[in-house]
Structure 1
Amino acid sequence: MLDLPDRRLNAYRTDLAEERLRGVVEANNYVSGSPGLICVPVVQLRTRPELECGTDTELLLGETVRVLDTDAGWAWVKADFDDYVGYIPDYAISPVVRSLTHIITAPRTFIYSGPDLKFPTVQALSMGNRIAVIDERETRGTRYFLLEGGQAVIANHCAEVGEPLSGDYVTVASRFLETPYLWGGRSGFGIDCSGLVQLSMMMTGKNVPRDTDMQANGLGTGIDRGDLRRGDLVFWKGHVAIMEDEKTLLHANGHTMTVSHEGLEDAIRRIGWLYQQPTGYRRP
């Protein structure tokens, strides 16, 4: 039986496929797609164009995609950042018409109607959201970045696009402590285990795969359990955790339904009855 490409990372249906798969898969038509920009803080990407379908991952404000098809209020897209393929509501996409200057570095923050913390909020933002700053203003000692229409964000909740956060990615991941666990989540509003790894590494300038199996197969190098140190990853079937030090890990998990600390040995015992022993250890 012919092995077909991973549908999570390769866009193909019987009627349509991305151009680069011509000669690899059979489809009635092949397209290169058109560029699009995510224009909402967070949007869920699904396997099928149905709200009842579970979430595979999420795309964040300012991320770019290739739009392969649109129909009945849905867009079939491929994310430029990690190549993930799926369906999102078409209202979440706008044309790529301007460059984005800054990225949100706080786990969560707000857009205000103007440069004052007493002004009404317009929207909540997540770490990883990208915005276009056009000016700045200071009010009572707090510096704000101004957006189109006079809206504003807290300046020290932002960094310039392309300027990785200093320090290691574990420090970034720890800022999500107590964030709710969300299957397929990839934002400060809700996040899953591999989303925590991907987003925190992205903020420090590293591009890593999205799902646990992808990370386990291709992220960094394999190591022995006895060599674990801060920043290493522990994998189970369908789960990943980040080592904070030689004995403690940090992970988004369905046990506490949050991002939480846990002792490595405690986690191995607790997880073992359902998912058996760890499948591997890797150093990014």
Structure 2
Amino acid sequence: MDYGICMLSLVPMRAETSDKAEIVSQMLFGECYEVICKQDNWYKIQLATDGYSGWIDFKQHTPVSVQYYQEWMTAKHPRVMDLVQFVNGKDYRIPVGIGCYLPFYNGTEIRVNDKFYSYSGKCSTIELYNDIDELLKVAANFLKAPYLWGGKSIFGIDCSGFVQQVYGICGYQLPRDASQQIAHGKEVYFVNQTQPGDLAYFSNSDGRIIHVGLLLEDQKIMHASGEVRIDTLDHNGIYRTDFKRYSHNLRSIKRIL
């Protein structure tokens, strides 16, 4: 079995072995993965963080040892907190964005296999998921980030990627898709009983979960729809004042914290 680590700011994970194929997700710098199989110039990988799988270009694969992968899996790695920062190698630097992983960070350097890279930016060094204020501060960094199907970065993100990143940076790992995330947390039965940090889920006419957003105070919701934005939530769903209509139908509200 082969293992790897993302050594670029982000790498697209595709549904099929083609550069034209749908991007199902992205892996971020410092994120480890297992190579499930190989086909031509493509590797099918499974992320160590959330178990999500997809195809990556073999040229974007950086191998790591079995020992390193196992160590990575058992350790807790800080995340980049600056919107954009750099990890510095001997002869080059790698741009990294908020949410990227800093493997085995010791305050000045990260370690990949037996090589060390310097990092001097801000990072999450403690678990913050019991601190609502910190969670909301992290979420606010993503405001106005453009919507991108399968995206997980400040320069392109989808609804479940946004929620996963915010909670992940604060130390709580959620699954990748909204339909998987809804299994987490405790049910909140009424909109007027919501608290900041709760997650609201929305369904289509077939009852399938298709959207998720993060609750704020005063029944406001932050979510990725065209961009990461703030709208109003009531018992029907998300109301867009700019469109003067509802954009998403409410299905369930869950409390993670």
Same fold, TM exceeding 0.5?
A: yes
**Secondary structure in structure 1 of the residue aligned to 2:239:** helix
Match of 2:94 among 123, 134, 137: 123
Please state how far the C-alpha of 1:96 moved relative to its aligned partner.
1.9
Whether 2:80 is the aligned partner of 1:104: answer yes
Q: CA RMSD in A?
A: 3.0
Bigger drift between 263-272 and 43-52 goes to: 263-272
Please state how far the C-alpha of 1:135 moved relative to its aligned partner.
8.3
Q: 1:133 to 1:34 in 2, by over 3 A?
A: closer
Match of 2:127 among 154, 164, 170: 164
Unpaired runs of 5+ residues, structure 2, are 204-209
Whether 2:38 is the aligned partner of 1:35: answer no
How many residue pairs get matched? 232
Write the distance in 2 (CA, Å) between the matches of 1:61 and 1:91: 15
Within-5 A mapping of 1:21-170: 33-97=1-65, 102-111=78-87, 122-131=93-102, 145=108, 152-155=118-121, 157-160=122-125, 163-165=126-128, 167-168=131-132, 169-170=135-136
Write the distance in 2 (CA, Å) between the matches of 1:276 and 1:261: 13
Q: 1:283 to 1:165 in 2, by over 3 A?
A: closer
Contact kept in structure 2, 1:185 and 1:191, CA below 8 Å: yes
Report the TM-score, using the length of structure 1 for normalisation.
0.70
Contact kept in structure 1, 2:237 and 2:249, CA below 8 Å: no
**Secondary structure in structure 2 of the residue aligned to 1:49:** coil
Q: Which amino acid aligns with 2:239?
A: R
Please state how far the C-alpha of 1:188 moved relative to its aligned partner.
2.2
Write the distance in 1 (CA, Å) between the matches of 2:246 and 2:229: 19
Q: Relative contact order (C-alpha < 8 Å, sep 6+): which is higher? A: 2
Report the TM-score, using the length of structure 2 for normalisation.
0.77
Match of 1:269 among 232, 236, 239: 239
Match of 1:220 among 171, 176, 185: 185
Write the distance in 1 (CA, Å) between the matches of 2:159 and 2:118: 32
| Equivalent residue, structure 1, for 2:207 | none
Q: 1:121 to 1:263 in 2, by over 3 A?
A: farther
Write the distance in 2 (CA, Å) between the matches of 1:165 and 1:228: 20
**What percentage of residue pairs aligned between the two structures are identical?**
25
Whether 2:171 is the aligned partner of 1:205: answer yes
Unpaired runs of 5+ residues, structure 1, are 1-32, 115-119, 137-144
Contact kept in structure 1, 2:197 and 2:215, CA below 8 Å: yes
Whether 2:144 is the aligned partner of 1:178: answer yes
Write the distance in 2 (CA, Å) between the matches of 1:252 and 1:108: 20
Contact kept in structure 1, 2:215 and 2:222, CA below 8 Å: yes
| Equivalent residue, structure 2, for 1:283 | 255
